[in-house]
Amino acid sequence: MSFIRAASKVAQQVLLAPGCSCEPLYVSARCISFSPRQVTSDASFHSVSFSETDHPKVLITGGLGQLGVGLAKLLRKQFGNNNVILSDIRKPPNDVFHSGPFIYSDILDYKNLREIVVNNRITWLVHYSALLSAVGEANVTLARDVNITGLHNILDIAVEHGLRLFVPSTIGAFGPTSPRNPTPDLCIQRPRTIYGVSKVHAELMGEYYHHRYGLDFRCLRYPGIISADSQPGGGTTDYAVQIFHDAIKTGKFVCNLKPDTRLPMMFIDDCLRATLEVMEAPAEMLSMRTYNINAMSFTPEELAQEVQKQLPDLEVSYEIDPVRQAIADSWPMNFEDSNARKDWGWKHEYDLAELVQMMLNFIGSDSRVAHVN
């Protein structure tokens, strides 16, 4: 039995995401009164699995965000350039477009997604499309559509075509009643942002589909991710990226969180490696489907002091954003990630000092090149 998609749209809304071109996002009715397991004979080749000696064929949604380009680069080194497809609703920059396969993909367009998976014989799907915490609070309707409705399309397609599915979660999946220092894998969550609510929804739906339909669902709760090759994208932890850009360009940094706000953080290289490792881990090694991962935990004041060891003239001031501060105060101060370390051998490589050195080296060299040009 194949999926039956409603012939008429029950709702059609044109939504504009901050920083994105205007794209029509469709919310469609669909019939899902059957088991997704019944659809695996729908196409002649879509359910073909790959052996341990074959490379997966990977689709990354939301590929132009903070993590997608970096993950594509890592996976292409591992599996071959043409086996990893980046997708987004935005036009890619030239370097991304010429670095490997890129296609348009709107996660709210089920038919478009299904055609991509079938035509490209996708076996792994990495679902990075999401609106982050602060942006989501500014546009709850759009966040609900992208983060929840889009996820439902991804889950249905992953089950229909027997995909291995990775959906990231976040420190934002916890709330003010969660244990904060440390926060274990299993505890009360109850977040108070649409971003956090949608991520808890993703965790639970993914685990449900795993137990109900056998979906190979894998999820990591990322801490704040710090990377030098992307601009801050509307997250509460973005101060930990912005400080490096401002330190090099102006020598002055205004932080929108209190100086003693402690949050778990991770350098992007560790994050991307963890994602690859959990996707490659044999299923029998996974005692759960959603894991915390952690590397370090610091405050804005501690980060500023570490940066000032390298740039002693940096001036730091604080202008607190009440929305972001309230979000940060509800999040974990430190992640407990012993299950990831025990089950599939997770181990971070970068601590605070190494993180600061890497960020300053990268942004500093990039800034010098731009100045020369």
| Predicted pLDDT of residue 235 | 78
Does the annotation count 350 as an active-site position? no
What pTM, to 2 d.p., does this model score? 0.83
CATH 3.40.50.720 fits 28-372, yes or no: yes
Q: From the first residue on, what is the mean pLDDT of each consecutive set of 10 residues in the chain (373 residues)?
A: 37 34 32 43 37 80 93 97 97 96 97 97 97 87 95 98 98 95 97 95 98 98 90 80 94 97 97 98 98 98 97 96 92 97 98 96 65 37
| Predicted pLDDT of residue 9 | 36
Kindly give the pairing relationship between strand 169-170 and strand 216-222: parallel
What are the φ/ψ torsions at residue 83 (nearest 5 degrees)?
-90, 0
> Which two three-digit tokens encode residue 256?
């929108």
User: Catalytic one among 26, 195, 239, 291?
Assistant: 195
Q: Which residues contact residue 364 at a Cβ distance below 8 angstroms, ignoring those fewer than 6 apart?
A: 248
| Predicted pLDDT of residue 306 | 97
> Which two three-digit tokens encode residue 184?
């274990």
- Rounded CA-CA distance 36/53 in Å is 28
| Predicted pLDDT of residue 31 | 38
| Predicted pLDDT of residue 161 | 98
| Domains of the chain, residue spans | 28-372
- Rounded CA-CA distance 291/168 in Å is 10
B/e letters for 25-62, b = 16+ CB within 10 Å, e = fewer, are bbebeeeeeeebeebeeebeebeeeeeeeeebbbbbbb
DSSP assignment of 22-42 = -EEEEE--EE--S-GGGGTTS
- Rounded CA-CA distance 326/25 in Å is 31
3-class DSSP state of 84: strand
- Rounded CA-CA distance 78/70 in Å is 13
